[in-house]
Chain A
């Protein structure tokens, strides 16, 4: 009997992650080299990963919003795949923002969690995009899944500006914006440089993960088409 070696055993690379790894390494080195803050001391270093994570969440859900709109207008699979990929990666970074923020909060405020407006609206954002991911996972029909997900992708985005402006609209524990604010950033340049490098590194990481996730969507479509053809 002939032994059958299926190509399923082949390696599944996500493309070269060496550039992303190198930029992240530079970013982490700058974080370590940055001076401690006058008030927060070494705890300020959490900012260099917490803030870029939050930025990626905004970016990812913005991309999901635009791709969902594009799908509703053009009904092509490309924007649907991009919306799905970006939402899932955004959900990951929202979760990481909440967890790293919780650790920072315990160290500076003395509590792991507070129903502060920024924290609460971020938790709502997490739940909304968790619903988006679960909705996609629960509908078998490809067309219906893409349509309903696109509608949710547009509606859920309404909360994202609320998250950003919550620190200005309501009083809470979370500090006001120091970079994305009217006028020039209020943060010292010594702390701003590693922060901006961190934002750039995380943006590259986001792009790498989204490209890998789009590949997964493409592969899933191919499997569904192959199963449909075989049935």
Chain B
């Protein structure tokens, strides 16, 4: 295996790791937003336009 292949592997690990973490962070934020909306909906019900009354 050439030196540059080892270098490429190390860079791929770093870039992939950071990109994967940022993607996971976005998914977790979206999931929590969904739970919060569902709780708001359950607490306040819907207004006449079909949107949760407690929506931020």
- Which A residues fall within an 8 A CB radius of B? 2-8, 10, 12, 14, 17, 28, 41-43, 45-46, 49-50, 53, 89, 92, 95-96, 99-100, 103-104, 106-107, 205, 209, 212-213, 215-216, 219-220, 222-223, 226-227, 229-230
Contact = CB atoms under 8 A, between A and B. Distances in A.
Interface in B9-25: 9-11, 13-14, 17-18, 21-22, 25
A87 B4 CA distance: 32
Q: Is the interface of B mostly helix, strand, loop or mixed?
A: helix
A150 to B, nearest CB: 22
B50 A99 contact: no
A107 B17 CA distance: 21
Contact of A49 (B1, B11, B21): B11
Interface residues of B, number: 37
B50 A219 contact: no
B6 A107 contact: yes
A230 B36 contact: no
Contacts of A17: 22
Q: Top 4 closest A-B pairs, CB basis?
A: A8-B34, A2-B50, A107-B6, A226-B39
Nearest to A213: B25
A43 B6 contact: yes
Nearest to B39: A226
Given A12-B26, A14-B25, A42-B4, A100 B36 contact: no
A8 B33 contact: yes
B22 A49 contact: no
Contacts, number: 108
Given A96-B14, A209-B22, A6 B6 contact: no
Interface of B: 1, 3-4, 6-7, 9-11, 13-14, 17-18, 21-22, 25-26, 28-30, 32-43, 46, 49-52, 55
Contacts of A41: 3
Contacts of A230: 39, 42-43
B6 A215 contact: no
A209 B40 CA distance: 28
A7 B49 CA distance: 13
A4 B51 contact: yes
A212 B28 CA distance: 11
A3 B3 CA distance: 58
A8 B35 CA distance: 8
B13 A212 contact: no
